[in-house]
Structure 1
Amino acid sequence: MRGKEKLKFKKLPAVLTMSAVIMLTGCTSVGPDYVSPDVKVPEKWSGEKAGDFKAENRASEQWWKLFNDPMLDGLIKEASSSNLDLKESMARVDEYRSRLGVVTGDRYPAVGIEGDLLRQRTSENAGYSGVTNTYKGLGLEAGWEIDLFGRVRRSIEAAKANYEAVQEDKNDVMISINSRVALNYIKIRTYQARLSASNSNIELQQEVVRITGSRFKYGLATALEVAQAEQALASSEATVPPLRIQLSEAINTMAVLLGRNPGELNELLSEQREIPVPPKDAAIGVPADILRQRPDIRRAERQLAVETARVGIAKADLYPQFSLSGSFGYQSVASRNLFSSGGNYFSIGPSLRWNIFSGGSILNQIDVQDALVRQKAIQYENTVLGALNEAENSMTAYTEDSMRLGYLEKTVEASKKTVELSLNLYKQGLVDFENVLNSQLSQFISEDSLAQARGDSAENFIRLYAALGGGWDPDSIVKNKK
């Protein structure tokens, strides 16, 4: 027995030497190394109104604070910590961080402990002694895949890029939540402004109904004029319920965005406030900033990196896989002799697995991955074009609506004067009552349009900064890694 043990130990250095040669023989990673795509973007924005913006890049700022509305700031702050979509995306980040850890663990040997306790009796009828024994064993087992052709390394590359893509997805959700909260807040204030315009118009028409009624009493107005005044009043009153419905829906939507039950924000948001006014000196940077700012573009780039790494994983199946495994432990019938020199055992050595024929499945899988890489490259380019298009359109909408807002403000001032003059002339019997009705309708329409235009201007400012990828610091991921 001892002679055999000495023979095994003499062979051990040869086994280790062979394993070392395998590990040191030019380990490489098959498949293409990832290179970031080079997509050309314009040097400047093409919109005619681009000159109205500052060229400096301020998209990473907390753009909502430019409205100078503390309530809006508070709502966005609460949403950033309690929105359920954002919480779900953060949990997904944790999931893919752990997935990366799982794959990274394949770089290291797997070591385990095994123990046995076996009671056994041999059969006398089968020619054995018929003795009953209890066998005890305790040992270590280890296995390690030698990553000679980079299958594990490429798997880690893919998992890391996947993890980073999910991080960008979380950032995209965050930008979306910030803009949705702000847009919903603007809608709430816009509905309130429109309700205010409706109520003001109703009060004016109630006064006209009183005036026409008084004039009819003294024979100065016809019954038709009274009916027309009452019809105009009822028509204006009918505009109020739909606006109240929309206001209630917007407030309930805001509650859900903040992770609250519908109705919980009624008291906070029911009081009317002015529509926030966006700043006049918006900064948009240059088109190239979008590649760095927008998480959807960054995510598309990381997804391209994932598929590129998977090409190497597929190609690694064309080459042999080497593993090194071993075990060491003790076995004995008697517990007192378990850890004696005569009770030890061991085994160690490399193994080879090479799929030399697969019916073309490996080559076809490589072709699949090559095609996926091309798809992701096209998707990345398409995402960039979509982002540029969204930014250009938002820029145009913001500037044009700002001009429209100025015209409507002048229209409202003129319509108020028209109503005042027509009503005074009607009292004097110098104009028909139809002039009064038309001027009142024109004032109501212009005031309602002005409220909507103010809301549109603020919403377009929000959409512009969301299109630029504003509202977060793209360097935060790098900072968190350090």
Structure 2
Amino acid sequence: MPRTHSQLPLSAPLAAERSGAAGLFRSVVAGAVALALTGCAVGPDYRPPKTVTPDEWHQLPQTGVRVESADAPLLAAWWTTLNDPQLNEFIERALADNKTVKQAYARVVQARAQRAVAGAGFWPNIGSSTSASRTKSQSSFNERGEAVSMVGENYSGGLSASWELDLFGGQRRSYEAAAAQLAAREADLRDVLVVLLGDVALSYVGVRTAQSRLDFAERNLEAQREALDITRWRATAGLTTVLDVESANTNYQQTRSQIPLLESSLVQNMNRLSVLTGQTPGALEASLQQRKPIPVAPVDVVAGVPADVLRRRPDIRSAERQLAAQTAQVGVATAALYPSLSLNGSISWQALKASDLLDGNRLERNGLTLSLPIFNGGALRQNINVQNALLDQALASYESVVLAAYEEVENALNAWTSEQRRHESLLEAVGSARRAAELALVQYNSGLVDFQTVLTADRQLISLEDSLAVSDGEMTSNLIRLYKALGGGWSVFPAATTGS
């Protein structure tokens, strides 16, 4: 069976009268401590990765985007630019009660405790023990033949201490890894906040978009119902045919069939918003029942240069800290190849009476324990290979997160500017479609066109008005996605998570 370590104990009791041996031991201890304090930490030292960063955004529009400092207040609290008090209220409620935020904060608390555990390895372990025993035995008989019992008591107490010296930096690397993991968990909490703020705003805009689409659909449905009634009256008077009546009814029922889908979308967004704010589905239905317009996106957007994204986005920060933690783990694995040295000592007292314990027999013991890895089937070196492979994975993950962040910002910039152009065209198209529908109805009543012309104009108007409502929501939603991609809101912390 392979042995993993060779224990070479150097401990021996030192009596007070053996001052020469005691002096030698103190010299050895002092030298070992000095070596531990000045010893090097094996393994690679962490250096931040060199990341290729573009000088400017590829899709940066000519107007509408202001390149400002990464700490611009407008970017830190971007949702306030939508000027919607109810959205601000939902944001505050989500920060206070969202369950994902609470989970992320609990992970920070856990990582903070794990760092403290790693830091405890620098200090000695000190313990104490006490014991008391009483024995009773029948050893003989007296002259009268009565049994004579002997009672004995024994009391002992002591202190013990041990301290593993960090000769080759294994403990230091463990602490570095724990500290980096804590920073990663804090960055994860910030990332949860960025995602949460964006999701709350997107769900709120989804509610208002569904309501806007319902307004258009219900208004068009009422107009089509009136047109159907007129067509039926004209058919009864012999002014038109049953074909026109059936066509009008088809148009009416088609619009009517869209309303349940829009109502379902409205309920889903309400439920999503309820859950994001830490409430049960349906809890916000009453407060959102009153229909309000879609929040209007501002004309200008605050954005920094690509290098700002590296500093601002918490998911990039988390990946970088994970890389630092894994670098330290390589040092931990490397330190296992080297000897370890521990100081240990104890002092104990023994007495036959509890009151005499401190004045009883005293025994002191001090020593060194040296552990040498001799043979373990190559497990220690293979573990270094494992940690180096994990380091390569962490580096690739960091680079992937950086590229994905740049891609997300570029796509968000493009979507925001493209939707602006689309929205302008839809506004003009809806205006023309409304005039065309009105003109078609007038000409039909005058007998100049057939009913199919009216139906075609109505269908175009309904489709364009619905597209415009969707575009209104997309304009604001794309702005939200852009601020989310830029890392806006990462510095916002709810009161429940600001403890140290």
TM-score (norm 2): 0.90
In structure 1, C-alpha distance between the alignment counterparts of 2:357 and 2:396, rounded to whole Å: 65
The answer to whether residue 203 in structure 2 is matched with residue 184 in structure 1 is: yes
For structure 1, which segment, 81-90 or 221-230, has the greater mean C-alpha deviation from structure 2 after superposition? Answer: 221-230
Q: Give the match for residue 142 of structure 2.
A: none
Contact 2:76–2:492 (Cα < 8 Å) also in 1: no
Alignment counterpart, residue 381 of structure 1, candidates 390, 399, 413? 399
Alignment counterpart, residue 465 of structure 2, candidates 432, 436, 447? 447
In structure 2, C-alpha distance between the alignment counterparts of 1:421 and 1:247, rounded to whole Å: 34
Alignment counterpart, residue 432 of structure 2, candidates 400, 414, 421? 414
Alignment counterpart, residue 287 of structure 2, candidates 268, 274, 281? 268
The answer to whether residue 163 in structure 2 is matched with residue 144 in structure 1 is: yes
**Superposed CA offset, 1:290-318 (max 9, x none):** 10111111011001011100111111111
Alignment counterpart, residue 333 of structure 2, candidates 289, 296, 314? 314
- In the TM superposition, residue 239 of structure 1 has moved relative to its aligned partner by 0.8
Q: Give the match for residue 127 of structure 1.
A: none
- In the TM superposition, residue 354 of structure 1 has moved relative to its aligned partner by 1.1
The answer to whether residue 412 in structure 2 is matched with residue 402 in structure 1 is: no
Contact 1:60–1:293 (Cα < 8 Å) also in 2: no
In structure 1, C-alpha distance between the alignment counterparts of 2:230 and 2:59, rounded to whole Å: 52
In structure 1, C-alpha distance between the alignment counterparts of 2:165 and 2:314, rounded to whole Å: 37
Contact 2:313–2:490 (Cα < 8 Å) also in 1: no
In structure 2, C-alpha distance between the alignment counterparts of 1:60 and 1:110, rounded to whole Å: 50
**Superposed CA offset, 1:116-162 (max 9, x none):** 112357998xxxxx965322112211111111111111100001111
Q: Give the match for residue 155 of structure 1.
A: 174
For structure 1, which segment, 364-373 or 70-79, has the greater mean C-alpha deviation from structure 2 after superposition? Answer: 364-373
Q: 1:165 to 1:275 in 2, by over 3 A?
A: same
The answer to whether residue 215 in structure 2 is matched with residue 196 in structure 1 is: yes
- In the TM superposition, residue 60 of structure 1 has moved relative to its aligned partner by 4.2
**Superposed CA offset, 1:195-219 (max 9, x none):** 1110011011012112212322332
Amino acid at match of 1:361: A
The answer to whether residue 22 in structure 2 is matched with residue 6 in structure 1 is: no
**Superposed CA offset, 1:367-426 (max 9, x none):** 111121111111111110111011101110111011101111111111111111111111
In structure 2, C-alpha distance between the alignment counterparts of 1:39 and 1:422, rounded to whole Å: 62
The answer to whether residue 315 in structure 2 is matched with residue 296 in structure 1 is: yes
Query: Tell me, what secondary structure is at the counterpart of 1:339?
Result: coil
For structure 1, which segment, 25-34 or 186-195, has the greater mean C-alpha deviation from structure 2 after superposition? Answer: 25-34
Alignment counterpart, residue 65 of structure 1, candidates 71, 77, 80? 80
Fraction of identical pairs, as percent: 37
The answer to whether residue 271 in structure 2 is matched with residue 255 in structure 1 is: no
The answer to whether residue 348 in structure 2 is matched with residue 343 in structure 1 is: no
Contact 2:91–2:200 (Cα < 8 Å) also in 1: yes
Aligned-pair RMSD on alpha carbons?
A: 2.2
Q: 1:206 to 1:98 in 2, by over 3 A?
A: same
In structure 1, C-alpha distance between the alignment counterparts of 2:290 and 2:345, rounded to whole Å: 75
Q: Give the match for residue 354 of structure 1.
A: 372
Q: 1:351 to 1:64 in 2, by over 3 A?
A: same
The answer to whether residue 453 in structure 2 is matched with residue 435 in structure 1 is: yes
Q: Give the match for residue 371 of structure 1.
A: 389
Q: 1:475 to 1:232 in 2, by over 3 A?
A: closer
Q: 1:159 to 1:48 in 2, by over 3 A?
A: closer
**Superposed CA offset, 1:74-109 (max 9, x none):** 101100110111111111111111111111111111
For structure 1, which segment, 4-13 or 255-264, has the greater mean C-alpha deviation from structure 2 after superposition? Answer: 4-13
Contact 1:43–1:286 (Cα < 8 Å) also in 2: yes
Q: 1:121 to 1:148 in 2, by over 3 A?
A: farther
**Superposed CA offset, 1:176-205 (max 9, x none):** 111111111111111101111100110110
Q: 1:309 to 1:466 in 2, by over 3 A?
A: same
Alignment counterpart, residue 86 of structure 1, candidates 89, 101, 104? 101
Query: Tell me, what secondary structure is at the counterpart of 1:238?
Result: helix
In structure 2, C-alpha distance between the alignment counterparts of 1:312 and 1:363, rounded to whole Å: 12
Q: Give the match for residue 74 of structure 1.
A: 89
Contact 1:62–1:471 (Cα < 8 Å) also in 2: yes
Q: Give the match for residue 41 of structure 2.
A: 29
Q: 1:185 to 1:418 in 2, by over 3 A?
A: same
TM-score (norm 1): 0.93
Q: Give the match for residue 52 of structure 2.
A: 40
In structure 1, C-alpha distance between the alignment counterparts of 2:187 and 2:375, rounded to whole Å: 41
- In the TM superposition, residue 475 of structure 1 has moved relative to its aligned partner by 11
Amino acid at match of 1:45: W
- In the TM superposition, residue 237 of structure 1 has moved relative to its aligned partner by 0.8
The answer to whether residue 423 in structure 2 is matched with residue 423 in structure 1 is: no
Contact 2:176–2:325 (Cα < 8 Å) also in 1: yes
Contact 1:60–1:472 (Cα < 8 Å) also in 2: no
Contact 1:255–1:264 (Cα < 8 Å) also in 2: yes
Alignment counterpart, residue 353 of structure 2, candidates 323, 330, 334? 334
For structure 1, which segment, 466-475 or 310-319, has the greater mean C-alpha deviation from structure 2 after superposition? Answer: 466-475
For structure 1, which segment, 381-390 or 223-232, has the greater mean C-alpha deviation from structure 2 after superposition? Answer: 223-232
In structure 2, C-alpha distance between the alignment counterparts of 1:237 and 1:386, rounded to whole Å: 42
The answer to whether residue 131 in structure 2 is matched with residue 116 in structure 1 is: yes
Query: Tell me, what secondary structure is at the counterpart of 1:49?
Result: coil
Amino acid at match of 1:87: K
In structure 2, C-alpha distance between the alignment counterparts of 1:241 and 1:303, rounded to whole Å: 48
Alignment counterpart, residue 226 of structure 2, candidates 197, 207, 224? 207
Contact 2:190–2:491 (Cα < 8 Å) also in 1: no
In structure 2, C-alpha distance between the alignment counterparts of 1:357 and 1:437, rounded to whole Å: 88
- In the TM superposition, residue 350 of structure 1 has moved relative to its aligned partner by 1.8
